[in-house]
Structure 1
Amino acid sequence: MYNSSKKKQTVDQPLTQVETHGLLAYPHRLNFYDKAPLFDVTVEEFEICALDRLRILAEIESSAARNRTWEELKNVTETQCGKYLPLSANTAKSIRLDEQRRKDHLGHFVLRLAFCRSEDLRRRFIRAETTLFKVRYETDDYKERENFLSSRDFNWIPVSDEEKNQYKDRLFHGPINDDKIKAEKFYKVKWTRVPDLVEKRRVFLKGGFAYVPGREQSSIVFQEFEVQLGKALEMTARLLPRLDEDTRLVPVLDNLSQGFLAGVSSEWSGVLGSDNANEIKAEMIDDLARKHFPMCMRSLHESLRRDNHLKHFGRLQYGLFLKVLGLSVEEAIAFWRKAFSRITDDKFNKEYKYNIRHSYGLEGKRANYPAKSCLQILTPGPSEHGCPYRHYSAENLQSALLSTYSSQGLSSADLPEIMATVNAGHFHVACTRVFEITHASCGVSKGEGVGGGESVTHPNQYAARSMELAKPKVEEDAMVVD
């Protein structure tokens, strides 16, 4: 399914397909993924397709943790799909449909490899994938959806007019006539295939069969999708040991399997925006930390101010965060020199200045190092600084939240909701909720996240959005003073 070629093969390149004969290799927007992809891909494409899909699935799980309504979840999912995994209808013009659907197909199967490893990962993957399928099912073109359903054998039995008439008092509500009996469709399936409808008493049961009305047909489809995916994941888990010796793919799969832990962030490797470039000065950091930094960076800043020192990995993590925030190398040197006030200039120049310049790509191999994402902070090395939401005790976390953010509107009444997401393992959702609470005065409402419903997945994303929201207020205050 993959090859190790270094030559980039993007998902936008033309594909060899039967489209040249007026057909599509992927005729439907909806997919049960019951046929494995049998084409070569590069390791790069292997990872890109999976990451883009994982961004959507992680946001779906975050939405569930944040108790979003179905309509809110659907809107957020559609927005994410539009950015990372668009799937156009067959009627779309000037769109390479097979290329979109090929990427969707490949990404799903790569994530199967990553999430088949444990019962918990399989359960979470099935839930997120089924939700994504439901969103696509509801938003699909009616005719195309019917064509998809007709292309598969769902093993349901259409109920005849005679049988509908026989049980009409149990099947229909309100006035009943011949036209109504003929117009409304029903399907018979084993009752075990629609447990949700049985539980809600929305079907008539007879002889072990559930009589499912046409308006509830989707329940059969969703249940079939979920069951088939569960079986496929178990089979994949049994075959997975064959990949253990592949040094190219195992690290990729290990990284992907952490995706539900903190979402999937973009690489914030440069200055967040031109508006910040050359604007942030060393003397501004204290104020910025107090108003705009997430707790992980706020705690590093406070440790630095308290001890006039940070250990190597703390300096690296915080220094890269400040670099990406927009602090120039000259201002960074000035900031760290003032922070390390207990040492001499000679010691600072010999032991610390080089490392600061190195992190900016001005020494050593001159690499442009990115700042650490939430996922990297959530899974730190033994001597690195981790995420407070994950690594603080419950008592210390609540105390830290109140002492850090009470001046920005967070109160003890907000703690139960935040701690519930922490206890459920949704640490980035807890951070997102703190962002919403502390930025309510800027117009951020519950569920909005850092914009468009997105959750926090990177400390710089948190800080950048906070600073962006503050700008209109600063400009307004300046006009009042004038």
Structure 2
Amino acid sequence: MKKIVELKGDDEKIQSYFRSEPSLCSNFDCLIEGSKRDRVSHFIFRVSCARSGKIQEYWIKGEKELLSFRLKSQENLFDALTTLLIDIRKCLNSLRLIESQRTFLEEIFVLLNTLKDKDSSVFLCTKRKTCSHFINVPWIFVHELVAFRRVSLHKGIAKIPCFCIYDLFVSLFEMIMRNGINQIKYFNVCFDEDDRLVQIRKNIISYFVDFSNPISNSKHKTSLSHKDVEKRFKEFPLCMLQLHLKLKGTGRLTHHERFRYSLFLKDSGMPLNESIRFWKRYYSEAPKCNQNGCQHMWKGSEGKKFEYGLRHLYGEEGKRISYSSHSCSSLQALRPQPQNCGGCPFLHLDNSQLSSLVSKNEKITQIQLEAILRASNDANPSLSCELYLAGSTHKHSYKRRQLLRSISYSSVEKRPRSSLMRKTFSSVHPHENSASSIKEMCLTCSSNVINPDASFLSPVVYYHLRVLNNNNNNKPKEYLIQNT
């Protein structure tokens, strides 16, 4: 499932992957469509993911892409439509369905049965890319296609072209999965009483946390004590530097700000006992301002609450799940209040505030600052952060020199990003012709840190990359090229 998600549903890449692993299906018959283990594993995942939103979304995405690959591997979709109708009829004949679920499945059954009778030729089509046929479906069944404007609408009816028929099946499949997950809470069976399901769920959570936050288990993970923070905070990404400066200035952070900063320090290498010492140092003193925020002191029962919260984040209390730090995408999606911080400064600060914050880093030159501001004004926070990372590594770092030398800061907003990235990447890999991104350049500073194609980029990753860059600043050029 992880591999299918990484391949982003690309049919050719998935087929190539299966060909390169001929023993895959023979050893794991859960991948064989329609097999008993295929069905059982699907529903075990459905039960296990019901309580975790992140794992649930990741699993649904993988199931959708696997279904899309299976459908496109068939000569026509008529057999798939017939099989789906048979399966839905079996479900409707079950006496264990609640009324809302039965109504939901009946609506889908009527829709598919009507399409089978009226538009069977569309499902038998074998030349979908050039076919001009289409079918009419109520928009509610293909809301994702409507959201991305891939179909035309008229009076609530979506006109689906022949080449989008696969997406109709995938959309219906997603609706059925989400409906089934929502119905799990109505079951009388307590899944926590089954030791097998409990263990499976723990394994899934552990596996998901491991690959969604690969820097946590990296051999390059640094150790961070509460005393080291004052020495290293300038190496933090701008979003976390902003939080630390606020903590130093006011002595307090709001609950959500403290939550995000604690997770960042945790995944940056700070153990639990050091985290307790770090927060106790600030919260044992009176706050330095009267702004709205946390006014509690680390003493008595309040101190125990703070300590319990930290132990909970480290997986020592409660459900004993070790939380992972926020990703860049989750921070960018935040909408902080005017007096709060903790989101992405490249999105949520105006030019004067951002300029003042970036200027606190003495390694950033005026030209680099202007390039960062231009990228921020273009609503490209990831590029802004990458430029900040490139400019703030050690001034003698070979990787920094290569990044800055290959970027024309005076023309960032005029030239397309792909050409900039192509020039950047080719400066270190002269034989690589494909376009790349600064993110890939940064992530390749150590081949064992994280996959350059990973979608879980986070402030922790940027922090470790800066530490690695600064630690490697005295390495010869040949060493750095060999390790990229």
Q: Which has the higher contact order (CA 8 A, sep 6+)?
A: 1
Query: Which TM-score band applies after superposition, normalised by the shorter structure?
Result: 0.3 to 0.5
TM-score w.r.t. the length of structure 1 is 0.46
